[in-house]
Chains A and B, each alone.
Chain A
Amino acid sequence: MQVISVPGSLDQQSVDDFLDRVAAAENARCLLDARHVRWVDPNGMLALLLAGAAVCARQGTLPRLELPESMDVLGYLSRMGFFQEAQGILEFDDKAPRRGSGPSDVLLEITPIRANADVHAVVDRVQGRAGVLLDAKLGYPQTAVVPFSVILSEVCQNVIEHADGPGWVAAQAYNWARRLGRWVVVISVMDLGRGFRGSLTDEHAARYGDRWSDSTALEAAFLHGLTRFPDSGRGQGIQQIRRQVQRWNGSITIRSGSARIGQYPEWDDAPPMVDALAPFPGAQIGIVLPAKEGDSQR
């Protein structure tokens, strides 16, 4: 059995390393060793699900997940609905706690995206919670719930319209006290579909010739709004998400295949393009929305 160690802090910053290791796994049965995970955010949770689904698709057997020893992490995974979604994707012990039925502090639990009805459900679900949270934690006006919902809607539709495969979305608010000194909302949307290059190749690869790759495909969609559809009204979803994220001084990053592209504010020094990652199917989108400056007390 091949053991893949899960980083102790599984979030946007460590998720590439984790997915690279999963992509490089050989054809032996995998064990995802998450015993030492102390911190996990929506990117990390969805990456665990993707890892399970990708390995299962490749090997035909469920990889085993060794659960975190931290009860806090286990409880949080449960509140986010992780174990419910992991059924049939990962094999794990029964000691995983069930999701409680009480009031939740979660902005958006892990939600599968398979059809347009799921996008409606996501937008419905965040209406009440997001309004309160964006105001209380980020200092955004109450009206921000609409552009926030539009971001979620567009980013989830990306899974249905371009990935041609199932995906998940999740969101939560955190106090990034050490990293930023402010609260942030983290949104993650990941799928195992055909990825940006796969979606755009038929329509646009010829124009790029030898330069066509995961990174040029990401640039085409992310920077130039190219889409596989001939309809000129298409392709604006990601463009408008970028614009709104920039207005809120947030970051957005997309990994697809072997490349990652991002738009970052001054507080994040991540490089705008990373390539030569291990090829991983689908697309993985991460968005961070920070509290307004001066709202550090929130």
Chain B
Amino acid sequence: MTDLPLDPVAIDVGHLLHRTVTSLYAHLVTRPTGRAVRMAIETQLEGMGDRSLSLIDLSEVSVLDFSCADEVVAKLVGHYAAAENKEAFFVFRGVHEPHRDQIEVVLERQSLAAVGETTPGRFELLGARSAEEDAAWRTVETRGLLGRDDVEEALASPALRDALERLVQRRLVYRSPITGRVHALSRLVAHLM
């Protein structure tokens, strides 16, 4: 049996914008536009079973305003963080300097966090997180994988180990229900980039 009952998929937001809203709109601005794009993403997620990992690609979006960041990023993350019947994980690609501020702000406002690629190949935890959560997440991100037996050695303090549990609950890392190993989300979508 595999360690990873997940089949990550890439969702290109720039493509969705043109396909689902209108080919006339080049930018991810206004709340109705963001809502339409989020609903298109949610439709794709519905077909992905009870557990999913999505790489939400913002690379082709040139302007992202706060309203759209709230609709596409915060509402998407918030909705699935609260969902009991679906375990959805997200990695946001292309959270480069022009988009980063908007995404950080909307996540923090709703006490949410997400994993984002902030420069090509570099991932960070964005939004609301404690210093311990940040440190534990960086450890997992740097190692890529933490086995059950590695946790005490990698995360020396109880506070960091508690933080790891919160990261699992917040779906900011993935713990295999089969082996108990903890995976960095960025490694699980690396083949899609």
Measured CB to CB, the residues of A under 8 A from B are: 116, 119-120, 123-124, 127, 143, 146-147, 149-150, 153-154, 157, 160-161, 232-234, 236-237, 240
B109 touching A123 by the CB < 8 A rule? no
Question: Among residues 49 to 83 in chain B, which have CB atoms less than 8 Å away from a CB atom of chain A?
Answer: 62-67, 70-71, 74-75
Is B159 interfacial (CB 8 A cutoff)? no
Contact (Cβ within 8 A) A146 B63 = yes
Q: Are B105 and A240 in contact (CB under 8 A)?
A: yes
Asked if A149 and B33 sit within 8 Å, CB to CB, the answer is: no
Taking a contact as CB atoms under 8 Å apart, the answer to whether B27 and A116 are in contact is no
Contact with A150, one of B65, B74, B97 (Cβ below 8 angstroms): B65
Q: Which residues of B contact A143 (CB under 8 A)?
A: 97-98
A157 to B31, CA, bound (A): 8
Closest 5 CB pairs of A and B: A146-B98, A233-B70, A153-B65, A116-B30, A153-B29
| Interface SS, A side | helix
Instruction: Please give the number of chain B residues whose Cβ is less than 8 angstroms from any Cβ of chain A in the complex.
Output: 28
Judging by beta carbons under 8 Å apart, are A116 and B65 in contact? Answer: no
12 residue pairs A–B, Cβ–Cβ below 8 Å:
A119-B29, A120-B27, A120-B33, A123-B27, A127-B62, A143-B98, A146-B99, A147-B98, A150-B29, A153-B67, A154-B67, A236-B66
B102 within 8 A of A: yes
Q: Which B residues are CB-close (under 8 A) to A127?
A: 62-63
A123-B29 contact in complex given A149-B63, A236-B105, C-beta closer than 8 Å: yes
Instruction: Give chain B nearest CB distance to A118 CB in angstroms.
Output: 10
- Separation of A35 and B32 alpha carbons in the complex (Å): 43
By beta carbon, the residue of chain A nearest B29 is: A153
